[in-house]
A = this chain, B = another copy of it.
Amino acid sequence: MKQIYLDNASTTRMRPEVLDAMLPYFTEQYGNPSSIYPLGQEASDAVAEARSSLAGCIGAQPREVFFTSGGSESDNWAIKGFARANVAKGRHIITSAVEHHAVLHTCAALEKEGFEVTYLPVDGDGLVSVEDFKAAIRSDTILASIMFANNEIGTIQSIAELASAAHEAGVVFHTDAVQAFGHEYINVEEMGIDMLSASAHKLYGPKGMGLLYVRKGVKLLNLIDGGQQERGRRATTENVSGIVGFAKAAQLAEAEREAVHGSQLALRDHAIERILREIPHAKLNGSWESRLANNVNFSFEFIEGEGMLLQLAARGICVSSGSACTSGSLDPSHVLLAIGLPHEIAHGSLRMTLGRDTTLEDVDFAIDSLKATLANLRSMSPLYEDFQKTGEGSIIAEMKAQGVPYVS
């Protein structure tokens, strides 16, 4: 069956150009970049070139870019490494309630080490308030980590303002840009970003490959000690093919960014509008204005997410959900709860994230299928039965009555 892949926030299909760029580094140019003979030096040159190309994408210096095994390692390294290196200056860290677990669980680990963490709430759109942020800064605050764009609901934060508020108070500013790198314009100088995490597989590059940008002068302890790779900051024989593939993916993304952004935005808004128009008891999650161009996230009432995903999968549609059942945890997505969704409707959420080659047909087919799926699941839902019998018990209807935007 034809698969319609609308889960590009989860991972992406690697581009053939990226594979082509990587291929020589497996069985031909397989040298260790630390070696002195040509096979090693060529690998070393390829790594250096990739580093400066990636640095260029965000306005950084090559020596400020360090390769890692992915977004999670970058987040862990930035936050644990900075906190542990700067504990003498203070033990307070600020982050938000909607961060990825790679940030949240890292902060939780630091709390066990004696750090204190403020988890800023967000508004109904998922936005951190700059005022709240300023108010949370204490004299012993050393680090703030606020994600560039949310992986579930696509909300883009006011990074430049937050960073500047952090700097006014002498606080170092990290951003998890895993969802934004290669998709949104980023410039670490203009925006005042001190550390930035990115991951290659979110931009049609290889899995298991990430980077951490660290502004010159920002001190970190190593997460991975050992050899002298990455100027002694992150040990391990370089994943040369992965590094080369990451750089290639980023170059392509950078070159096509504006065009892709524009066409995705149109498709995204088409999808959002169709759902609001055609599917009752639905609510758009996340800001519509300050939102990744490829993110569509809805809650549907009276149904639970996993069943929806499985039925859509049976029609060849690959999407994801903030439902409890898909994550192995009893609670629904912490992001959906943080934007104020009651558990009941957080369970019935759906994320569709468009890719660079998603077509209008794909989106329309997905929405048609979604309508059929929801009708089927609602027909077997005891909650929908009750609602139909009594006309009561709809949370979304209440929201609508209260004037919450983008509900149907």
Cβ contact within 8 Å between B36 and A226 = no
Residues from chain B with a CB closer than 8 A to the CB of A235 are: 72, 76, 101-102, 105
Residue A160 at the B interface, CB < 8 A? no
Q: Known: A102-B225, A242-B207. Contact between A69 and B69, CB under 8 A?
A: yes
Residue A238 at the B interface, CB < 8 A? yes
Residue A380 at the B interface, CB < 8 A? no
Q: Known: A19-B27, A36-B309. Contact between A76 and B238, CB under 8 A?
A: no
Cβ contact within 8 Å between A36 and B310 = yes
Cβ contact within 8 Å between A7 and B27 = no
Cβ contact within 8 Å between A40 and B76 = no
Residues from chain B with a CB closer than 8 A to the CB of A39 are: 3, 5, 318
Residue A282 at the B interface, CB < 8 A? no
Expressed in whole angstroms, the minimum distance between the Cβ of A78 and any Cβ of chain B is 12
Residue A257 at the B interface, CB < 8 A? no
Q: Which of A259-312 contact B (CB under 8 A)?
A: 306, 309-310, 312
User: How many residues of chain A get a CB closer than 8 Å to chain B's CBs?
Assistant: 76
Cβ contact within 8 Å between A207 and B76 = no
Q: Which of A108-148 contact B (CB under 8 A)?
A: 108-109
> In the complex, A5 Cα to B37 Cα: how many Å?
10
A7 touches which of B11, B35, B221, B310 (Cβ 8 Å): B35
Residues from chain B with a CB closer than 8 A to the CB of A71 are: 236-237
Cβ contact within 8 Å between A30 and B16 = no
> In the complex, A221 Cα to B207 Cα: how many Å?
24
Cβ contact within 8 Å between A102 and B32 = no
> In the complex, A137 Cα to B161 Cα: how many Å?
55
Q: Known: A73-B69, A208-B69, A310-B36. Contact between A27 and B10, CB under 8 A?
A: no
Known: A3-B39, A105-B225, A206-B241. 20 other contacts (CB 8 A): A5-B39, A11-B31, A18-B26, A35-B318, A69-B239, A71-B236, A72-B224, A72-B235, A72-B237, A73-B224, A76-B224, A100-B226, A102-B227, A103-B226, A105-B226, A108-B225, A109-B225, A208-B208, A228-B328, A228-B329
